Amino acid sequence: MRIVLCCAAGMSTSMLVSKMQSAAQGRGLAIDIKAVPVAEFERILPDADVVLLGPQVQFEAARLTAIAAPQGKSVAVIDMMDYGMMRGEQVLDKALALHAS
């Protein structure tokens, strides 16, 4: 499974990626997680199973979902509290649930 986090510049989500990777390793899950700027969305989409957007780019959600849907890809916005508190476990749970649906 490949999860991509998109934010304005890909920087603030990098810390969250580390927390999510730790959570995945703790569960014995082999998941590839990376962070990229939202400007790279269309380039990374073919390689992503789930794309999570940082709250600061949630205004892009409808447009990006419209691009992703025909390819069978899921896009969602990370909960602002989970993002702000760097709750890797919860964000990983969200990604796993999206992938399962």
7 is catalytic: yes
Q: In terms of DSSP bridges, do strands 50-53 and 74-77 run parallel, antiparallel, or are they unpaired?
A: parallel
Which one from 5, 7, 16, 23 is the annotated catalytic residue? 7
Task: State how far the Cα of 78 lies from the Cα of 92, in Å rounded to an integer.
Answer: 10
Task: State how far the Cα of 55 lies from the Cα of 12, in Å rounded to an integer.
Answer: 11
Q: Which residue has the tokens 């998941």?
A: 31
For the annotated catalytic residues, the residue numbers are 7
